[in-house]
Chain A
Amino acid sequence: MELAAVLDSMTDGVFVCDETGRLIAINPVGLCIVGAKDLEEVQRKGPYPFRFLDVRDEEGHLIPVEDSPLARALAGDPVVHRLELIDRRSGERLVLRTRAAPIRGAAGEIVGAVKTVTDVTHEYELERAKEEFIRVAAHELKTPVTIIKANAQAALSMLADAPAGVLRLLEAMVRGADRIDRLIGSLLDLTDLQGGILSLFRRQVGLGQLLREVVEQMPTAAARRIRVVEATPVAIDGDARRLRQMTRSLLDNAVKYSSDKSSIEVSLTRTEYGIRLSVADHGIGIPDDKRERVFEKFFRAHAGRPDDVGGIGVGLFIAREIVKQHGGRIWFESAEGSGTTFYVDLPAAGETA
């Protein structure tokens, strides 16, 4: 079978250039993507096939010619998977997944480069639509949650003298609403992170105070198990709400994956490099074979096991992003059957609060 016939029938666009970057072969799908009728037309337009088109990355920044996949490949740096956006003159936007690799001669020298391009516009748009749906749906849920919580609290304030049982029912409604709110928050965070952004609203934050507040806001039974061993009053330049969310995630996990009778120790200490938060439980631990994956999105180490306590598996994923955005790191030590300790190191601002 002729190689040219194979290229012609490929559903991916194929571009081949020589060592100077001059295009020497292109298949029909490639022509269609760049909007040219033949190789000569593309060659006339410049050394790299996309030079006459604005090629942007996912954030909308123009990709300079020297960073184009073929140029990178010619420099010996293969491009494995990159999304590129092209606005056609017709106004149509194409989303392409590109790969490029150098072509080497007998002695290993680079004699050219080959690039393949898959049109993923449809998949990309579906993905965006899905994210948008999640964002809108999550946001819409905030109103009914507010209604449940505000009205349950209003009833509570009216019924101060009611039997304890009635108050417990209403308090449970408030807690339920708070739980839905946290789930909504996770969904919104996920859609933000999909776009690669988790914007921080930085202010001076007193971490010792923050830690005590988060512990106080835990459900009573859980709060009783938590021992604040040390809460050094240190301040960092950070997003209080995000840091609270991260701390709450670690505490929620410690509570969820340990027995109701066991204690949980938290501490906030100064270290050589900054500030360390640790949350230690004496619970079921993380199985050896699951350790690498606990920070992955939607991963739940105990899914489908008797000790599965539910959740959507994003707490630690988001916590890690929050820590990362603050210039810190998060890790853990765990022994199956005896407990897990999570550590968060954050750079200190140097001042006390």
Chain B
Amino acid sequence: MSKPKVLVADDDEDIRDAIVFILQRGGYQVVEAVDGREALDYVLASGLPHLILLDMNMPVMSGRELMSELRARGLTGAPIVVITAAYDAQRTAEEIGAAGFIGKPFDLEVLLETVGRHIGSGLIGPIPRREPSP
């Protein structure tokens, strides 16, 4: 069986390099994108990967924008794990309906574990309704 494919979209080359390195060592096939637009172009040309690792804050097209572009095209067949420096990474992920999240700065072990847990595990969910505040 071929290696599971992970699309890594992050505008920072130094961060992307470390992620790609560790994922490749972890046995994944990795495709890189420097922003959401490049990631979208890749998906449109080559189809969905097994998982998308998505930085939220990118020029040209942000992670959030990419997610709505994918949704609009019905391309919801790959789980998305967001990488964010926002204080509440978990809340951000839940708000936009991502499968999982990784807060910056992250542990590479946590990154591998999170990718492993979500790969092939699910689809992009609908944007969840906000729970009414108590």
Encoded as 1 (CB less than 8 Å from any A CB) or 0, chain B from 1 to 25 comes to: 0000000000010110111011001
B108 in contact (CB, < 8 A): yes
- Of A142, A154, A201, the contact of B104 (CB 8 Å cutoff): A142
A157 in contact (CB, < 8 A): yes
Task: Please determine whether B12 and A201 come into contact, CB atoms closer than 8 angstroms.
Answer: no
B105 in contact (CB, < 8 A): yes
Contact of A177 with B105 at beta-carbon distance under 8 Å, contacts A143-B12, A143-B85, A146-B85 already known: yes
Contact of A157 with B22 at beta-carbon distance under 8 Å, contacts A139-B85, A142-B85 already known: yes
Task: Please determine whether B18 and A153 come into contact, CB atoms closer than 8 angstroms.
Answer: yes
B91 in contact (CB, < 8 A): yes
Contact of A157 with B108 at beta-carbon distance under 8 Å, contacts A143-B85, A188-B87, A201-B88 already known: yes
Cα separation A181 to B107 with both chains bound (whole Å): 12
Cα separation A178 to B104 with both chains bound (whole Å): 10
Task: Give the size of the chain A interface in residues (CB under 8 angstroms).
Answer: 21
Mark out the residues of chain A between 144 and 181 whose CB falls within 8 Å of any chain B CB in the assembled complex. Answer: 145-151, 153-154, 157-158, 177-178, 181
For the side of the interface on B, what is the size category?
20 to 34
In the complex, what residues of A have CB within 8 A of residue B17's CB?
Answer: 151
Mark out the residues of chain A between 93 and 110 whose CB falls within 8 Å of any chain B CB in the assembled complex. Answer: none
Which residue in chain B gives the minimum CB-CB distance to A178?
A: B105
Task: Please determine whether A145 and B22 come into contact, CB atoms closer than 8 angstroms.
Answer: no
Task: Please determine whether A146 and B88 come into contact, CB atoms closer than 8 angstroms.
Answer: no
Task: Please determine whether A154 and B105 come into contact, CB atoms closer than 8 angstroms.
Answer: no
Encoded as 1 (CB less than 8 Å from any A CB) or 0, chain B from 107 to 131 comes to: 1110000000000000000000000
In the complex, what residues of B have CB within 8 A of residue A201's CB?
Answer: 88, 90-91
Cα separation A142 to B88 with both chains bound (whole Å): 14
Could you pull out 24 A-B pairs where Cβ atoms are within 8 angstroms? A139-B85, A142-B85, A142-B105, A143-B12, A145-B105, A146-B85, A146-B106, A148-B105, A149-B105, A149-B107, A150-B15, A150-B106, A150-B108, A151-B14, A153-B107, A153-B108, A154-B18, A154-B22, A157-B22, A157-B25, A185-B87, A188-B87, A201-B90, A201-B91
**Interface residues, chain B, CB within 8 Å of chain A?**
12, 14-15, 17-19, 21-22, 25, 85, 87-88, 90-91, 104-109
**Interface residues, chain A, CB within 8 Å of chain B?**
139, 142-143, 145-151, 153-154, 157-158, 177-178, 181, 185, 188, 201, 241
